[in-house]
A and B are shown apart, each in its own frame.
Chain A
Amino acid sequence: MDRLISKFTDQRVLFSASFVVRLALVIYGDYQDRTMMVKYTDIDYHVFTDAASFITKGKSPYNRSTYRYTPLLAWLLTPNIYVNKMFGKILFIGCDILSGLLIYKILCLRGLGSETARRVSSLWFLNPLPMGVSSRGNAESILSALVLGTLLCMEGRRLIWAAVLYGLSVHMKIYPVTYALSIALTLRSPETTKENRRGWMRFIVVIGSFINAELLLFASVSGGVLCGLTALCYYIYGWQFLHETYLYHLTRRDIRHNFSPYFYMLYLTADSRWSQWLGLAVFVPQLILLVETSLAFHSDLAFSCFLHTAIFVSFNKVCTSQYFLWYLCLIPLVIPHLSLSLKHGVGLVLLWFAGQGIWLAPAYFLEFEGYNTFLLIWFAGLLFLIINCFILIQIITHYKPKKTPCRLKVE
């Protein structure tokens, strides 16, 4: 049995098998789209393709309503119009496989044997969730590849590359911006003296530790990439680009049901005087927790990024199932360091799925059967938050930090 598993997780077999399965799903998806009423392809994929088709006609991708992404994505997908409409899906499954490879590389860098690293990375390679998402034409895999690429370059101390990828990933989606504090804390100069300075002297030392060549290099390169791309897109598409890509997500007032614990509260107060303040107040728990996890776990960047993403998604004003993918790609980096028993781990996974199931049932009855289940959806949203926090607490308490916190120099 063990030999069978080891054979199956053999590097080449694993990579090619996971690619073939994804390719088969893409081909099957095309068949289902052509023959059945229920379509396999994600609605977003049609949005991307429509936006790309506007680009090929020399128009703005934002002519396609609900296109709320960087124009880079629409540019990237113009072969959908020129070559074949499957191009984007192939690109997405390519990024999906690349993410798996990056997970494998990061695990090796973090001191895991290649056999174990392969087994753990197969949690991504053979995971039906990312398989389904990328083969349905959802672009999340591009972002997971960028985020994992940033982490790999950070682990390998290739700072310029890390900064370029980080700038690019923040340009693509805003959420990785939450990693900034953790990255800054990892790059600051270590405190050389252990003297117990008090008051403002200590404050100056802490501030001073942030001023070093590495941190300045990272900040200027990633800031340069981000600002350069944003300025370029703003130059071409103007205010509409800024509004649709960034501001919309910040000021989003979509009151329709979603996994967020705040959904019903925001729906009921949407027209009241204090809705603006409530909208801002719900950022407070996110902010506190993000700053705290940065301070507490910055020495283990991958773990810190995982916690950031999970907290950001769980406490967000709007949360849909595709957001779960943002932290799913970071879980394989955390798992080898957990001292949980298999039973305990499986129990937590089942609990997470149960939390979603409990939410999905009343949401289905509201949306497709027309029952008034708003209150139940609210309860389920709160329960899902509690479950997510419980799981995160379990992960935090059972996390054994990597044994070599010293920075590895690799070629």
Chain B
Amino acid sequence: MYFVLVAVLTCLATCHCLNRMDEDENHCGQLKQWLESTSVSVSVDISKKGFHRDLITNIDLSPDVPRGIRVLLVYRWPSGVYVDPYQLASLRDQSDWQILLDSSIDLEVPAHKTLGFVTYVYPNHGDPPPRELKVVIPMHGRYHEPSSQKTFTSVDMQPPELLLQTEKCMQLNSFEPHAIVDAPCTVHNSSMCPWVKVQFQQEHGPVSFQLPVGDGSLVIPVCSGTLLVTIICCVLLSKYTWKHRISL
């Protein structure tokens, strides 16, 4: 009796597994097929001037994306800029994406004394994702080391990596030429998932913007000027203070 029950259950379980694998392959096949036919493009652009800028990313996913696909953008930020986690938190209600940072960010340190960092951006798209996605992230330039040769320094921003995943396709193999990489499954960073890193044509390449830097050749005049003025001010103030002191 028990033997029959175990046999039936085993059979059911196997069927279910086979079914799941079928489904998996079905979803994976869908993603694979779409990746073969698609011409994904990702471009970045920078708006505003000065130290406070917006990095605008446009993603074109045509033709229509199949259902069940999730998009993740991985930005590798250079040391010349930073994003302010608290500003991003305050924008959470208004923005249609969520962001995860790989490390804590020092908002005050100059560019040459820090390293770049990585952020994971999860656009809050519907299902299926729209053909065109746009993400605008506010960023801030860091102060740079003074230079004697140039008055501006250039900061290069690479387009983000585009990662895709379908919740139901867990068997991510044979997605050549696209690589499989591990990245946090969600913005809560509770677990890692395999994602398909999509190779796309770089139509525009990196964008860059200029930040002013201090003139290193002026060290001597600036130091002597500053000290001269402060000493004169100090001496004059001191003279009048003593002259008009209140004696008891």
Chain A residues within 8 Å of B, Cβ to Cβ: 43, 46-47, 50, 65-66, 190, 254-256, 261-262, 264-265, 267-272, 278, 282, 285, 288-289, 292-293, 295-297, 299-300, 307, 311, 315, 366-375, 378, 382, 385-386, 389, 392-393, 396-397, 399, 401, 405
Contacts and interface: CB of A to CB of B under 8 A. Distances in A.
Contacts of B248: 190, 299, 405
A401 B247 CA distance: 10
Given A46-B90, A369-B50, A401-B246, A292 B238 contact: yes
Nearest to B233: A389
Interface residues of B, number: 47
A368 B152 contact: no
B143 interface: yes
Interface in B50-70: 50-52
A299 B246 contact: yes
Q: Chain A: interface secondary structure?
A: helix
Interface string B220-248: 00110111011101101110111011101
Contacts of B238: 288-289, 292
A261 B146 CA distance: 18
A292 B242 contact: yes
Contacts of B219: 268-269, 272
Contacts of B237: 289, 311, 389, 392-393
Given A268-B222, A269-B219, A288-B234, A261 B152 contact: no
B3 interface: no
B212 A370 contact: yes
A12 to B, nearest CB: 36
A66 B236 contact: no
Contacts of B230: 261-262, 282, 285, 315, 385
A267 B234 contact: no
Given A65-B107, A315-B234, A370 B211 contact: yes
B110 A270 contact: yes
- List the 9 closest pairs (A to B, CB-CB), nearest first: A296-B245, A372-B212, A285-B234, A370-B50, A389-B233, A368-B50, A265-B226, A370-B49, A372-B151
Nearest to B220: A268
A261 B232 CA distance: 13
Given A269-B223, A296-B246, A375 B215 contact: yes
A401 B209 CA distance: 57
Contact of B240 (A267, A285, A378, A396): A396
